[in-house]
Chains A and B, each alone.
Chain A
Amino acid sequence: MDYFLELFLGGLTRGSIYALIALGYTMVYGVLGLINFAHGEVYMIGAFVGLIVSGFLTVLGWPILAIVVIATMMAMLFAGAYGFTIEKVAYQPLRHAPRLSPLISAIGMSIFLQNYVLLAQSSDFQAFPQLVPEFEFLEPYSHIILSTELVIILAAVVTLIALFLLIKFTKIGKAMRAISQDRQMAMLLGVNVDNVISATFIIGSALAGLGGILVASHVGQINFYIGFIAGIKAFTAAVLGGIGSIPGAALGGLILGWTESFATGYVSSDYEDVFAFGLLVFILVFRPAGILGKVSSEKV
């Protein structure tokens, strides 16, 4: 039972990471109907900003709590700025182009950002400091859950609730929902579509930045390529849960995390991806729009 609990918590951690990144995919898709393939790279940039800022502040001798808070905020701020810029540069000019064009533009952006970081930071893995200190009250349970893992899970839960409230009850949330239902109509009713889309990108990217700094602190190393696999997995989670749906992204992330964790724990880590993607195929066969996705008929 202990082992089951360990795997459950391991899967929960991994799932929370996927969910944090998947939120960005699903929000952008919900509003724009676009897969932002550069999203994984924003996650990676968030991690690098966290590394640079925390390294700088450590040299200055700041207390650990201040370093954690400021590094996280800077990572989210920079990631948000990157998200905003990416949208302005790569997607906005193509808003009325055929759907394939922004997709290619997204892939190009992803490759560009990877190589930009490669040139700026070298291809070597960089050590990432453990930002979250070992909590003393967790010491007896450290074989079950580490303090960083706990922080990741909590961060994901808080973020999800905040995002849910934002979408449900604020003006900008309403505008996002309106645009996702019918962009033209929203525009006619006085919603500033460009601003709302920018806000969507900024929020989604900031969450990716948060994910980046948390994961980097968890595994202790980063390089320019970490965004790729994380991005692919998070995208899978978004599709699994139903792309465009925020609770769907969270659910998809958790299911993917648990599947991988239990597959490794009870079968073999050789088959981790086989189980994860097998499940994706299985679910899409029965629910083509994902678990919580809505099947929308094409409007004529």
Chain B
Amino acid sequence: MTNPLTEDILLEKLSTFLYSVSNFFEHKPIHLLDSLEVNMKQRTVKWAGSLLASAVTLCFLFGVSIADTIKIGVASPYSGDLASYGIPAKNAAEIAVKAINEKGGILGKQVELLAEDDVCEPNTATTVAAKLVAAKVVAVIGHLCSGATEAALPTYRDAKVIVMSPASTNPTLTLSGKYPNFFRTIAHDAAQADLQVAYALKLGAKKAAVVHDKGTYGKGLASLARDGLQKNNVEVALFEGITPGAVDYSALIRKINRAKVDTVVFGGYHPEASKIIKQARQKKINATFISGDGVKDPSFLKVAGKYAEKYYASAPTDVSQVAMAKSVSDEYKKVFGADVGTFSLQAYAAIQALAGAMEAAGSTDYDAVVKALRSEKVSTPLGTINFDASGDVLGAGFAMYQVQGGKFVEAK
């Protein structure tokens, strides 16, 4: 399977590189050298290690490229500050591809991964995109950073390459509608507020109060929820910030009571939420309360007690109940000796979604696969997912939970 020629070239390049590194340090001033040397030696060893690893992978890839394969690019940062996000995503894609190939590949063809480092920089990302397009990939898993993804997307779109990001959460990437080739297996930043608005509407909201804790998280979420409510003709009677840690919120509660709202959306964390809900329920306010993941915390249940009943809180979907999430995590740990990274499951799911869509479409044709991605449901570590018309994931991301009997239960 290996190609001895490429391996030789790479090893030669490696040794030249190491030589130049060691040369470089001979020119450093003496007093710097002592402290730097130890540090740099370790680093060099690490570099050498990762270079060797990638050399081996590359040889493997070159080896199989002779056969007729389906090529999928993986573009994420493997060096720089954000490498700790990129490498686990790529690793997960690798084990996903391995599992598919062991079962006979997609449409009888083996899948081949082409990993490219974009350093999470928009400039590098465009270069990477051109490179992958030239290598005739049918799809790309990536990029991670929203900025890099945005820069690379036009290149892919023009070449009719499907892009599926496991990590880019900027809402405009999908919502602008400029990139029909773009999908993502992670919910976008505004998804939580959208879910809250959707729930408020479902519960028949006519008049709402939106309260926040003046913080980045709380106010950001509350502003999005307010805009969403107003867009759907729900009257937002008051939009106010509270001081976290204040002695009580009775004046605000009285104001909410007077406004006669049917829905209260609170953007903030559980200590304030439990104070507010307790005082509101004591004042016989029966409005629906909705918050975000800052409130879905065991402490909230403990502190607010019986007053927490019926409180709604949106939060990332709990994947601990999905059997595949566990098996993938275990497999990952066995192969790479580390726990799955932040975006690993999303990357794994992206490969599965692509494979599932290609199988369903019966080809790797761009239009057929795009159509299948939207209609076909695939079971992944994130749950059973497909994609909406704008390319956002359905079935994963955020879910609405409600306190029932002292526990958070997924609201249906």
Contacts and interface: CB of A to CB of B under 8 A. Distances in A.
Interface of A: 3, 6-7, 10-11, 13-14, 17-18, 124-127, 142-143, 146, 149, 215, 218-221, 223, 225-226, 228-230, 233, 260-262, 264-265, 268-270, 272-273
B408 to A, nearest CB: 17
B303 A126 contact: yes
A146 B283 contact: yes
Given A10-B254, A228-B245, A269-B243, 14 more contacts: A7-B251, A14-B248, A18-B247, A127-B302, A127-B304, A142-B282, A143-B284, A149-B250, A220-B303, A223-B271, A229-B243, A233-B247, A270-B214, A270-B241
A261 B284 contact: no
B243 A273 contact: yes
Contacts of A146: 282-283
Contacts of B11: none
23 contacts: A13-B248, A18-B247, A124-B299, A125-B274, A143-B284, A215-B248, A218-B248, A219-B275, A220-B274, A220-B275, A220-B304, A220-B305, A225-B245, A226-B245, A229-B243, A229-B247, A262-B251, A264-B255, A265-B254, A268-B241, A269-B240, A269-B252, A272-B246
A280 B384 CA distance: 59
Give the interface residue-count category, chain B. Answer: 20 to 34
Q: Which of A7, A10, A215, A260 has the most CB of B within 10 A?
A: A10
Contacts of A219: 247-248, 275, 278-279
B30 to A, nearest CB: 45
Interface of B: 211, 214, 238, 240-243, 245-252, 254-255, 257-258, 270-271, 274-275, 278-279, 282-284, 299, 302-305, 307
Q: Which of A220, A225, A262 has the most CB of B within 10 A?
A: A220
Contacts of A3: 254, 258
Contacts, number: 100
Given A125-B271, A221-B271, A142 B248 contact: no
Nearest to A6: B254
Contacts of B274: 125, 220-221
A221 B282 contact: no
Nearest to B214: A270
B293 to A, nearest CB: 17
A215 B275 CA distance: 12
A208 B146 CA distance: 52
Contacts of A229: 243, 245-247
A143 B283 contact: yes
B250 A14 contact: yes
B299 A10 contact: no
Nearest to A230: B247
A143 B246 CA distance: 21
B299 to A, nearest CB: 6
A127 B247 contact: no
Contacts of B270: 125
Contacts of B299: 124-125
Nearest to A148: B282
Contacts of B242: 269, 272
A220 B278 contact: yes
A6 B259 CA distance: 14
Given A7-B254, A233-B247, A272-B243, A142 B303 contact: no
B251 A260 contact: yes
